[in-house]
Amino acid sequence: MKPVMRTSPAPGPVDDLANRLRAGDRAALARAITLVESKRLDHQAQARALVQRLLPFTGKAVRLGITGVPGVGKSTTIDVLGMRLISEGHKVAVLAVDPTSSRTGGAILGDKTRMARLSMHESAFIRPSPAGQTLGGVAARTREAMLLCEAAGFDVVLVETVGIGQSETAVADMTDFFLVLLLPGGGDELQGIKKGVIELADMIAINKADGESLGRARSTAMEYSAALNLLTPDSARWKPPVILISGLNDEGLDGLWSNVSQHRALLGASGDLAAKRARQQVKWMWTMLDDRFRSRLRADATLRARLPEIEEAVFTGALSATLGADEIAAMVGL
């Protein structure tokens, strides 16, 4: 009697997508990010399985967050910096969190057009995503998108935030290095930057430090250097520097990246970087739990029907906020 030949089961859709992504299929990467951004429950389940499947292939990339007010030159700086890194052998992914369109709810997609050279290069991947209502101007699934880019072989991941002066804690909690871009001249009030953002900075770069603006840029750098001396740095091993750059003219970007690399080397050798990422993972877990809770509220028809009534009762003062929260929690079994 001949032995029965057993064949391996055909790979499922998640396995197939993971394999194509790992092989460098850019369309697969784009599809995977679309999957993690989807609000459909079946897509969310597939996305969780996909991220878990690819987790062993993540964690080696440099994660750099960049923020600054509109007009500071984030996209131009990223375009030039990205091309410089590619020329040195890196593969660069940019997760550009766009302001959300008030009419469509989707990303305005302006960043891709402002990164003209980078968007055309085969060693770069740019993904604009709508910011939605997420605190800090970071798309709700940016963390998962970052992991997917790492699994696809990108060793530098840049996260560009909306940068409208709101809390940028979210991007600091998912990246290794947080860069704040500022304009020459003007204080916090003029630039729309809150003190809390400066406290999160691993480095401040005064952009557009060229031509007639150079003198003002130097004065601004001195002011922020003095301000940083009054703040307690995130790590005793790193004092956030203030540098001058011109993204448009490709000036000072070698020094910018040198600081990022030095920061990574120092914190990596001391174990601080690994500890920071571990803390970020725990915060991510709680964020996901909060998202799951809110998703359940939106998905349950009975809950959706009752929520406006509870909100109205709290609004009119007929019900205290505490009792309102208790009633909602009881409805979801908490």
Whether 227 is covered by a domain: the verdict is yes
- Flag whether pLDDT at 4 surpasses 60: no
Percent of the chain with pLDDT over 90: 52
Round to whole Å and give the CA distance between 118 and 331. 49
> How many domains is the chain partitioned into structurally?
2
Whether 25 is covered by a domain: the verdict is no
Whether 262 is covered by a domain: the verdict is yes
Specify whether 137 is located in the same domain as 221.
yes
Predicted confidence at residue 55, as pLDDT, reads 93
Predicted confidence at residue 185, as pLDDT, reads 81
| pLDDT per position as a tens digit, 234-260 | 778 899 999 999 999 999 999 999 999
| pLDDT per position as a tens digit, 260-293 | 999 999 999 999 999 999 998 888 888 777 777 7
**Residue 313: which domain range?**
284-331
Of the candidates 245, 264, 31, 16, the one whose C-alpha atom is nearest the C-alpha of residue 125 is 31
Of the candidates 45, 117, 53, the one whose C-alpha atom is nearest the C-alpha of residue 87 is 117
Specify whether 261 is located in the same domain as 324.
no
- On whether the CB atoms of residues 59 and 67 are closer than 8 A, the answer is no
Whether 43 is covered by a domain: the verdict is no
Whether 95 is covered by a domain: the verdict is yes
Specify whether 155 is located in the same domain as 300.
no
Mean pLDDT, range 103-125, rounded to an integer: 68
Last residue of a domain, one of 269, 295, 310: 269
pLDDT bin (cut points 50, 70, 90) of residue 230 is: confident
Specify whether 252 is located in the same domain as 292.
no
Return the minimum-mean-pLDDT range out of 55-59, 160-164, 218-222: 160-164
Whether 203 is covered by a domain: the verdict is yes
Specify whether 303 is located in the same domain as 166.
no
Last residue of a domain, one of 244, 269, 294: 269
Whether 46 is covered by a domain: the verdict is no
Specify whether 289 is located in the same domain as 259.
no
Predicted confidence at residue 232, as pLDDT, reads 78
Percent of the chain with pLDDT over 70: 84
Predicted confidence at residue 103, as pLDDT, reads 39
Instruction: Using CA atoms of 227, 276, 134, 124 in order, give the dihedral in degrees to the nearest 10.
Output: 100
Last residue of a domain, one of 239, 269, 299: 269
Mean of the per-residue pLDDT values of the chain = 84
Round to whole Å and give the CA distance between 54 and 28. 13
Predicted confidence at residue 192, as pLDDT, reads 54
Mean pLDDT, range 152-176, rounded to an integer: 82
Of the candidates 172, 163, 146, the one whose C-alpha atom is nearest the C-alpha of residue 57 is 146
Contacts of 27 (CB under 8 A, 6+ apart): 20
Which comes out higher in pLDDT, residue 65 or 329? 65
Specify whether 229 is located in the same domain as 308.
no
Whether 231 is covered by a domain: the verdict is yes
The CATH number given to whatever domain includes residue 265 is 3.40.50.300
Phi first, then psi: what are they for 239, rounded to 5°?
A: -105, 115
Contacts of 21 (CB under 8 A, 6+ apart): 28, 29, 32, 54, 148, 151, 152
Specify whether 214 is located in the same domain as 296.
no
Specify whether 247 is located in the same domain as 109.
yes
Distance of CA 287 to the CA centre of its chain: 14
Specify whether 142 is located in the same domain as 260.
yes
Specify whether 140 is located in the same domain as 263.
yes
Which comes out higher in pLDDT, residue 131 or 308? 308
Predicted confidence at residue 110, as pLDDT, reads 47
Of the candidates 166, 242, 173, 174, the one whose C-alpha atom is nearest the C-alpha of residue 202 is 242
Phi first, then psi: what are they for 300, rounded to 5°?
A: -85, 120
pLDDT bin (cut points 50, 70, 90) of residue 138 is: low
Predicted confidence at residue 209, as pLDDT, reads 94
Distance of CA 320 to the CA centre of its chain: 36
Specify whether 240 is located in the same domain as 318.
no
In degrees, rounded to 5, the angle at the alpha carbon of residue 174 between the alpha carbons of residues 107 and 71 is 45
pLDDT bin (cut points 50, 70, 90) of residue 151 is: very high
Which comes out higher in pLDDT, residue 202 or 106? 202
